[in-house]
Structure 1
């Protein structure tokens, strides 16, 4: 009597394909010459939702691989959409990511676990996993993750800063950070380290004052080191939610560590999310930020 051959269990057979080798969705080129691929799983999370990312892939000219913008959304670490560059860009046609792609970048907008789902370092770990997945699938996608620019706004700027400062395989080519927190250890603007209800405390899982080591690990300002990639920091001078000093102090620390280039643009009359400035000014901030990113990968 022969033994039955061993094989996959029923649970394995009915499970969705693992993101590392699942087929990539197909999408035609749109009128702007960009393929827009939505909802691609990149990380299964035990007991939680699978994390996904959206892709904008321009048509390649020649055989070279495309540089990548990895975008990280804001929302106080507890809300937000992965494809949202902020309230002042939501009405744009074409949208901001199609515009970035039209200039020759591939764009990936990644989910990460929010503070109601898992505390820090979970969201940073998720972005590392997104970059790992993009590297694994880079040949299929036609991208070069060695030329990745991390671009984030608000809480996403904080996470994009940390990713750029601490990730090494591959190291990002640089960062574009819009009004991101850089210091979770010191009272600034409306933030106080003792407040258990602050977005920072919810993200850390404890008030920063009671978890100083975790707060330091989550502060881009304390993670600056020699050899840090280039940074562009853009912040409103009248920001009432994330004090402008976050970007000013991070820029000073980066310059002291020898990072080059480091550019700091403070925007007069601008509040958080670019409230208080004209549509034309927001367009210019975006255009100049994209030009900085392009210089990093040229």
Structure 2
């Protein structure tokens, strides 16, 4: 199934860009403040393995939380990457796809290095390390890692898309990207301000005009090919942080090369929202279809 989104105009990068930056900082601050306080107990029908160490680059231990449905057969798995401008956030906060366990799908919520610890491509390397760790060890946790998908919101959505680009559809079988940046060059320009590093600049390792090659390499739009798996793209109609046009361009590029793609524009929503029951049902169906045997 392929849904076509309406066209939306480009938004100028002046005062509006700074308002976007302020909104993004507020979102990131909320993520940081919430932190691990949002961890919830196991629910009926699931088992949680918390703080499983999967890598330690430079001695920096990285952990994941694994939510596994209690069932007799191994479950497919979706890697979840949180948002927060690559600067803030927690694997335990706002796991938007956790309820996939009710559909027989495991969820691995992954902590990756923040930009103040390491710059791109360290974050993608961490995501790939998490995927490989699950391939090597998932069976011990009741996971069939041959059926793996990826999902993330905002900056985590960018990482989910880049993971699929790096690994291909034989290893990452489906991607659900929620209000994700897809063109880092354009996003960096949107937030650019002389004498001040934006969250995008910090992710790239310096001012974007000096890190253009990194911005290009970090942009999912530059990796469009038939080697990509199916995508489900979700974005709020009035997103004031990551322009809706970024998801629209990804959708059009994927459909142009024949990648199965759905695009859902959520009316009235801005940046960073929880999926309602109807939206989550679509996400669940998408992964059930694409992660089946």
TM normalised by structure 1 equals: 0.79
Shift of 1:145: 1.9
Structure richer in helix, relative to its length = 2
Are 1:284 and 2:293 matched, yes or no?
Answer: no
Aligned residue number for residue 250 of structure 1: 250
Aligned residue number for residue 263 of structure 1: 262
Per the alignment, in what secondary structure is the counterpart of residue 102 of structure 1? helix
Shift of 1:117: 0.4
Kept after mapping to 1: 8 A contact 2:76/2:106 = yes
Aligned residue number for residue 183 of structure 1: 183
Are 1:39 and 2:51 matched, yes or no?
Answer: yes
Aligned residue number for residue 240 of structure 2: 240
Is 134-143 or 242-251 further displaced after alignment? Answer: 134-143
Are 1:56 and 2:55 matched, yes or no?
Answer: no
Per the alignment, in what secondary structure is the counterpart of residue 137 of structure 1? helix
Gaps of 5+ in 1: 1-28, 90-95
Per the alignment, in what secondary structure is the counterpart of residue 32 of structure 1? coil
Change (3 A) 1:142 1:223: same
Gaps of 5+ in 2: 1-40
RMSD: 2.3
Per the alignment, in what secondary structure is the counterpart of residue 71 of structure 2? coil
CA distance in 2 between counterparts of 1:263 and 1:194 reads 38
Aligned residue number for residue 213 of structure 2: 213
Kept after mapping to 1: 8 A contact 2:181/2:187 = no
Aligned residue number for residue 74 of structure 2: 65
Aligned residue number for residue 151 of structure 1: 151
Greater relative contact order, per chain length (Cα 8 Å cut-off, separation 6+): 2
Shift of 1:187: 5.0
Post-superposition Cα deviations, 1:31-72, rounded to whole Å, max 9, x if no partner, equal 511111111111122243x000001111223xx421101000
CA distance in 1 between counterparts of 2:212 and 2:272 reads 29
Structure whose CA Rg is larger: 1
Kept after mapping to 1: 8 A contact 2:188/2:200 = no
CA distance in 2 between counterparts of 1:257 and 1:265 reads 19
Post-superposition Cα deviations, 1:1-51, rounded to whole Å, max 9, x if no partner, equal xxxxxxxxxxxxxxxxxxxxxxxxxxxx95511111111111122243x00
Aligned residue number for residue 9 of structure 2: none
Is 68-77 or 165-174 further displaced after alignment? Answer: 165-174
Change (3 A) 1:193 1:139: farther
Is 208-217 or 113-122 further displaced after alignment? Answer: 208-217
Change (3 A) 1:213 1:36: same
Per the alignment, in what secondary structure is the counterpart of residue 259 of structure 2? coil
Change (3 A) 1:285 1:189: farther
